[in-house]
C-alpha cells in the first residue's frame, strides 16, 4: 500500500470495474468479482493486488507472482501464474497507468492564495487558482483557471500560464508562454537569456536575447531542467513532450510534439527536433541540426549531423545504431585477436 | 518584433545611426537614410529590419532575405540580395549584438528593497541597489552599488558582491567574493562545500572545505550551475568567462580569463584552465589537470591528461582532434571492409 | 588562514595535541611541542602550519614545502623536507580531515524559527531545530532534534527528517523519509514524480508514482541533484553514500551503503547498486541493471549491462577497464600504422 502519509487511496474496486476503466479484456482465472484494494509490483503483490507485466525482463517475477490480477499482453497469458486474473491489453503499461489512477486519483488543487504570496496588481489570476507561500507573480502575468503555483515560485512579468497547470515549488519563469495542463517540477528555469555572445579576446559581447519560450499543452518538464529563451525566434517545446530532470535546452531550439528527452540530455542552440523524437539519458545534440520525426537517439550519444526521420542512432559521433554496434564489436574483436598473437 | 510583454523597443534608427553605433561600413544598396525599426532573423526580416549573417550555413537564407539591412563580413557582399543595405564588419555578429542593444537597451535596475526581503543589520548595501521579495542578505554581506538581487536569493554571511551585478532569482551564495558586472542566472549555487572526504569502508570522512569561490569581473554563470568552494586554496573563475547552464565546477578549480564552458560541462577538482579555453557541451575534465591557454575541448570529450596551449582535442579519452577524427574514420572503414568480405 | 569572514578558527594546537586527536604517530623532526595555528596546502604552508600529502602527484611540493608539520604515509618519510615534523598515518588524508576539523570545528546550529517561516500546525518540530527565513514546513511533516532547515526550503506534507541533519537553502522535499545526520546542499530536489509514463502516439500517459524516497543516515547529496520517488517500490539511498552536485537518480533506484557518485552522474530507473560502488563524473547507468558491491565505474562511462562485484569498468558501452584501455590503444595504433603506409 502506498504510504498513507503521502498518498490517499480510493477503492477497493472489482476486477470488472478495473477492466471497464482501463478497456481490458478479462482472462486467466477470470474472477470478475475479485475485489482489488491496491496496486503493487509483481514481486510483492498479494491476492487483492493489481500488478502489471510490461517488460519481458520481468517474466520470471510474473510466473512466480501472487498478484490477484495482472495487466498483460495477450502473448503473456500462457506464462501466467495459475490463480491470477488477467487484464489483457495491447498496452498493459497504459492499462496499469489508468488502473493506478483509479486507485490513487490525482489530488485536486485547493484553490487559494497564500498570505505571503506577492501578486502584482496588474497580474490576472483565473478561477480556482492555488498560489503557494512566498510565490511572486509579477506585473502583467496571467495564470489560467485551475492552475497551481508552488511555494516560492516566480512568475515573471508578462508570463502567460494556461489552465490546469501544475507548477511546483522553486520554479523560475520569465519571457515565456505556457500552455494548458503543463507540469513543471521543482527548480525548473524557463526563459532566461540564451548563451549568445560574440566571442573575442577583448571580451565576449553579449547578444540581446529577444525571443521567448513557448511551452505547448500537456508538456512535462523535470526537476532543475533549464530552457533558455530564443535569441530572435522562439524556443519551442511541442505539445505532449516529456522532458526529464536536469535537461538543458538552448536558445532557438524547436522540439516537436510528443518527444521524450531523458535526464541530463542537452540540446544545443537552433537545433530542431521533429515529432516523437526520443533521446536517451545524457544524450547530446550539437547546434543547428535537424532531427527527423520519430528518430531515436541512444543514451550518451553525441549527435553531430542531421538525422533522417525514423532512424535510430548511437555513439559519439552518433551513427546508425547497427553501425555503432558493429564498431563496438569490431574493436572488441581486434583486441582479442591481438591477445592471441604470440 | 520582440514580444512587447517582455521587451521594450527603442528606435527607430537610420542605417547611418546604426553604422555609427556599431562601427560598420555601409555597402550594398547603401541606403544610409533607410529607417530601421527592428531586428529580425534573415528568414523573417522585412524591409525595415536589421538582420545578420555570421554562420556560412545560413548563406542561402541571406541570398533570399528581404531584410532592409544586414550585418555581414566583406566576403559576403557578393552574395547579398539586391536591395539590401549592408553593414560591413570584420565581426558581424558583434556588430549585430551592438545594434540589437541599440534597439533593445538593457532594462535599468529599479533601486529599492522589497518589503519582504530580510537584511541583516550588519550587511552593507550600496547605492541604487535592488533587492527582490523574499531575498535574504545575511550578516556582514556587502552588495555593491547598482547591483540587483533577485527574488528569493540568499546572500550568505560575509559574501561580497561588487557593483552593477545582476543576480537572478533563487540563487544561493556562500563563502564567495563576486566581482563587478557579474551575471548569475536562476538557481546558481556558489560556495557550498566541495566534494572532499577521506573515503573508507568504515565511513567516508568529510574534510572541512576552508577555501572560497572567487568570481572575477564580467563573468556570467548559467541557470542551475554549481561551483563548489575550495578545500584550502580558492576556486576561481577568471574575468570575462562565460559559463553556461548546469555546469559543475569542483573545488580548487581555477578558470582563466575569457573561458567559455558550454552547458553541462564538468570540471573536476584542482584542475586549472588557462585563459580563453573553450569547452563544448557536456565536456568533462578529470581532476588535477593543467589546460593551456586557448585550448579547445570538443563537446562530450573526456579529458584525462594535461592539454598544451592552443590545442584542440576531442573524444574519450580526449586526443588531438585530427587524431580523433582519424580514429572515428578508421573504425568506420574497418566495419565497411568486413561487410565486403564474403 | 581561512578567510575570517567565512570561517572561525579554533587553535592553536601543539603537534602532540593534533597527534592525539588524529591517532597519528609523530616522526621526522618530531617537534611534539611545535605550536600549529592553521592548516594550509603544501605549497603555501609555513612553519606554524599543518599540511598533508595524500596524492603522490604532489611529492615534489612535499619535498619543497616549508610546512611545520605534514600528515603522511610512513612510505613518504624518506622524502620529507628536513625540519618538518611528520604525523604518520595509514590514511593521512583522513588524519588531515580530523586535524582540520580540530582547527575549524563545524559551526553549531543556532536553534530558532525565523519569523517568516511557515509551519503547519500538524508539523512536529524536534528540540533545538533551526528553521530559516521563508522556509515552509507542510502538514504532518516531522523534523528531528538538532536539524537545521535552510532559507526558503520546502518540507512537504508528511516528510520525515531525522536528527542533526543539515538541509541547506532552496531545497525541495516531498514523499521522502530522511535519516539522521544527512546533509542536503542547495537546490536538491527529492521526491518528485519519477519519469514514468506509457508512451504512445496518441499521447504519453503518466503512470502514478506511488513510492517514496528513503535517504538513510549519514548521506550527503550535492547541490541541484535530483532524486525521483519510486513508481511502486521506493527509491533508496544507502547509509553513508556521498552524492555530488547535479546527479540524477531515477525512480526505484537502490543505492547501497557508502557509494560515491561523482558530479553529473545519472542512474536510470530500477537500477540497483551494491555497497561501496563508485561512479566517476558524468557516468551513466542504464535502467534495470545490477551493479555488484565495490564495483568502480569510470568517469563518463556508459554502463549497459550488469557489473559483477569488485569490477572496474570504463568506456561506452562500459567494459572491464583493462579491455577499455586496450581498445583505446588499439585504435591509436591502427591510425598510426595507416599514417606510415605510403
Regarding whether C266 and C178 lie in a shared domain, the answer is yes
Higher pLDDT, C1 or A144: A144
Residues of B in contact with A327 (CB under 8 A): 331-332, 334-335
Residue A117 lies in a domain: no
C-alpha cell at C74: 610512513
Regarding whether A316 and A230 lie in a shared domain, the answer is yes
B88/B82 Cα distance (integer angstroms):
15
Smallest CA–CA separation between C105 and chain B, in Å? 9
Residues of C in contact with A281 (CB under 8 A): 248, 266, 268, 284, 286
Cross-chain CB nearest to B187 (options A198, A208, A224) = A224
Chain A residue closest in CA terms to B95: A198
Ramachandran class of C338: left when φ > 0, alpha when ψ lies in -120 to 50, beta otherwise: alpha
- What mean pLDDT do residues A211-217 have? 98
Regarding whether B179 and B84 lie in a shared domain, the answer is no
Q: Please indicate whether, in this complex, the C-beta atoms of B3 and A212 are within 8 angstroms of each other.
A: yes
Regarding whether C337 and C247 lie in a shared domain, the answer is yes
Chain A residue closest in CA terms to B332: A327
B220/B241 Cα distance (integer angstroms):
7
Evaluate if residue B281 carries a pLDDT over 90.
yes
Annotated catalytic sites of C, by residue?
Answer: 251
What is the pLDDT of chain B when averaged over all its residues?
A: 96
Residue B82 lies in a domain: yes
* Predicted confidence (pLDDT) per residue in C308-338, tens digit: 999 999 999 999 999 999 999 988 888 888 7
Smallest CA–CA separation between A109 and chain C, in Å? 14
Residues of A in contact with C210 (CB under 8 A): 2, 7, 39, 100, 104
Percent of chain B with pLDDT over 70: 99
Regarding whether B209 and B289 lie in a shared domain, the answer is yes
Asked if B252 contacts B272 with a C-beta cutoff of 8 angstroms, the reply is no
Residue B127 lies in a domain: no
Q: Tell me what pLDDT residue C342 has.
A: 58
C205/A106 Cα distance (integer angstroms):
13
Evaluate if residue C26 carries a pLDDT over 80.
yes
Regarding whether C340 and C191 lie in a shared domain, the answer is yes
- What mean pLDDT do residues A22-31 have? 94
DSSP assignments along A118-130, one per residue: EE-TT-EE-TT-E
Domains: count for chain C: 2
Q: Which of C115, C156, C266 to mutate to test the interface with A (most CBs of A within 10 A)?
A: C266
**For residue A290, what pLDDT band results from cuts at 50, 70 and 90?**
very high
* Predicted confidence (pLDDT) per residue in C136-170, tens digit: 999 999 999 999 999 999 999 999 999 999 999 99
Q: Tell me what pLDDT residue B342 has.
A: 58
Of B103, B124, B157, the residue at which a domain comes to its end is: B103
Evaluate if residue A335 carries a pLDDT over 80.
yes
Q: Please indicate whether, in this complex, the C-beta atoms of C260 and B204 are within 8 angstroms of each other.
A: yes
Residue C109 lies in a domain: no
Q: Which of C317, C319, C323, C331 to mutate to test the interface with A (most CBs of A within 10 A)?
A: C317
C-alpha cell at B155: 546572500
CATH number at residue B341: 2.160.10.10
Asked if C45 contacts C51 with a C-beta cutoff of 8 angstroms, the reply is yes
* Predicted confidence (pLDDT) per residue in C55-86, tens digit: 888 899 999 999 999 999 999 999 999 999 99
Q: Please indicate whether, in this complex, the C-beta atoms of A284 and B300 are within 8 angstroms of each other.
A: yes
User: How are strands ordered across the β-sheet holding B290-291?
Assistant: B124-125, B142-143, B160-161, B176-178, B213-215, B235-237, B254-255, B272-273, B290-291
Of B71, B87, B103, the residue at which a domain comes to its end is: B103
Evaluate if residue C287 carries a pLDDT over 70.
yes
- What mean pLDDT do residues B206-219 have? 97
ipTM of the shown complex: 0.96
CATH number at residue C21: 3.40.1390.10
Cross-chain CB nearest to B266 (options C97, C281, C335) = C281
Residue B298 lies in a domain: yes
Q: Which domain holds residue C62?
A: 13-103
Residue C315 lies in a domain: yes
Asked if C135 contacts C149 with a C-beta cutoff of 8 angstroms, the reply is yes
A82/A66 Cα distance (integer angstroms):
9
Of A83, A103, A123, the residue at which a domain comes to its end is: A103
Q: Tell me what pLDDT residue B336 has.
A: 83
Chain B residue closest in CA terms to A199: B94
**For residue B85, what pLDDT band results from cuts at 50, 70 and 90?**
very high
* Predicted confidence (pLDDT) per residue in A216-241, tens digit: 999 999 999 999 999 999 999 999 99
* Predicted confidence (pLDDT) per residue in A75-120, tens digit: 999 999 999 999 999 999 999 999 999 999 998 999 999 999 999 9
Secondary element (H or E) of residue C82: none
What are φ and ψ of residue C179, in 5° steps?
-75, -155
Annotated catalytic sites of A, by residue?
Answer: 251
Residue B169 lies in a domain: no
Regarding whether B326 and B194 lie in a shared domain, the answer is yes
Cross-chain CB nearest to C93 (options B140, B198, B226) = B198
Percent of chain C with pLDDT over 70: 99
Q: Please indicate whether, in this complex, the C-beta atoms of B250 and C240 are within 8 angstroms of each other.
A: no
Residues of B in contact with C274 (CB under 8 A): none
What is the pLDDT of chain A when averaged over all its residues?
A: 96
Q: Tell me what pLDDT residue A56 has.
A: 85
Cross-chain CB nearest to A151 (options C136, C192, C210) = C136
Regarding whether B226 and B81 lie in a shared domain, the answer is no
Regarding whether A59 and A192 lie in a shared domain, the answer is no
Q: Tell me what pLDDT residue C1 has.
A: 78
Cross-chain CB nearest to C189 (options A94, A116, A187) = A187
Regarding whether C221 and C330 lie in a shared domain, the answer is yes
**For residue A288, what pLDDT band results from cuts at 50, 70 and 90?**
very high
Chain B residue closest in CA terms to C54: B198
* Predicted confidence (pLDDT) per residue in C180-212, tens digit: 999 999 999 999 999 999 999 999 999 999 999
Percent of chain A with pLDDT over 90: 93
Q: Please indicate whether, in this complex, the C-beta atoms of C332 and B317 are within 8 angstroms of each other.
A: no
Decide if B251 is catalytic.
yes
Evaluate if residue A141 carries a pLDDT over 90.
yes
Which residue in the block uniquely carries the three cell numbers 516560492?
Answer: A152
Q: Which of B302, B306, B324, B338 to mutate to test the interface with C (most CBs of C within 10 A)?
A: B302
For the whole model, what pTM was predicted?
Answer: 0.97
Regarding whether A310 and A194 lie in a shared domain, the answer is yes
* Predicted confidence (pLDDT) per residue in B24-45, tens digit: 999 999 999 999 999 999 999 9
Residues of B in contact with A195 (CB under 8 A): 222, 242, 244-245, 262-263
Q: Please indicate whether, in this complex, the C-beta atoms of B207 and C104 are within 8 angstroms of each other.
A: no
B74/B333 Cα distance (integer angstroms):
40
Evaluate if residue A342 carries a pLDDT over 70.
no
Cross-chain CB nearest to C264 (options B200, B266, B288) = B266
Residue A50 lies in a domain: yes
Q: Tell me what pLDDT residue B55 has.
A: 87
Regarding whether A332 and A190 lie in a shared domain, the answer is yes
Smallest CA–CA separation between C158 and chain A, in Å? 5
Smallest CA–CA separation between C10 and chain A, in Å? 37
Q: Which of C263, C321, C329, C338 to mutate to test the interface with B (most CBs of B within 10 A)?
A: C263
Amino acid at each position: 500500500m502506498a504510504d498513507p502519509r503521502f498518498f490517499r487511496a480510493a477503492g477497493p474496486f472489482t476486477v470488472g470495474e478495473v477492466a471497464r476503466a482501463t478497456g481490458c479484456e478479462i482472462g486467466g482465472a477470470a474472477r470478475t468479482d475479485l475485489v482489488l484494494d491496491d496496486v503493487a509490483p509483481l514481486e510483492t503483490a498479494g491476492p487483492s493486488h493489481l500488478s502489471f507485466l510490461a517488460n519481458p525482463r520481468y517474466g520470471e517475477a510474473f510466473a512466480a507472482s501472487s498478484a490477484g490480477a495482472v495487466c498483460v499482453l495477450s502473448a503473456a497469458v500462457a506464462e501466467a501464474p495459475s490463480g491470477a486474473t488477467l487484464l489483457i491489453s495491447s498496452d498493459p503499461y497504459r492499462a496499469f497507468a489508468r488502473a493506478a489512477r483509479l486507485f490513487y486519483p490525482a489530488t485536486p488543487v485547493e484553490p487559494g492564495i497564500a498570505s505571503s504570496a506577492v501578486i502584482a496588481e496588474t497580474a490576472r489570476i483565473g478561477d480556482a487558482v492555488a498560489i503557494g507561500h512566498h510565490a511572486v507573480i509579477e506585473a502583467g502575468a496571467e495564470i489560467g483557471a485551475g492552475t497551481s503555483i508552488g511555494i516560492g515560485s516566480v512568475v515573471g512579468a508578462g508570463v502567460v500560464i494556461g489552465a490546469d497547470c501544475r507548477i511546483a515549488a522553486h520554479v523560475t519563469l520569465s519571457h515565456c508562454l505556457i500552455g494548458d495542463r503543463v507540469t513543471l517540477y521543482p527548480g525548473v528555469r524557463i526563459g532566461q537569456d540564451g548563451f549568445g555572445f560574440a566571442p573575442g579576446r577583448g571580451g565576449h559581447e553579449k547578444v540581446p536575447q529577444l525571443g521567448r519560450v513557448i511551452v505547448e499543452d500537456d508538456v512535462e518538464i523535470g526537476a532543475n531542467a533549464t530552457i533558455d529563451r530564443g535569441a530572435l525566434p522562439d524556443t519551442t517545446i511541442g505539445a505532449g513532450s516529456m522532458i526529464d530532470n536536469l535537461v538543458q535546452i538552448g536558445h532557438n531550439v524547436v522540439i516537436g510534439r510528443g518527444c521524450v528527452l531523458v535526464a541530463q540530455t542537452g540540446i544545443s542552440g537552433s537545433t530542431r527536433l521533429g515529432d516523437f523524437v526520443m533521446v536517451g539519458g545524457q544524450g547530446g545534440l550539437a547546434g543547428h541540426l535537424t532531427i527527423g520525426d520519430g528518430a531515436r537517439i541512444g543514451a550518451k550519444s553525441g549527435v553531430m549531423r542531421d538525422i533522417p526521420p525514423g532512424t535510430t542512432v548511437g555513439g559519439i559521433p552518433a551513427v546508425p545504431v547497427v553501425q555503432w554496434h558493429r564498431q563496438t564489436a569490431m574493436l572488441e574483436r581486434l583486441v582479442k585477436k591481438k591477445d592471441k598473437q604470440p
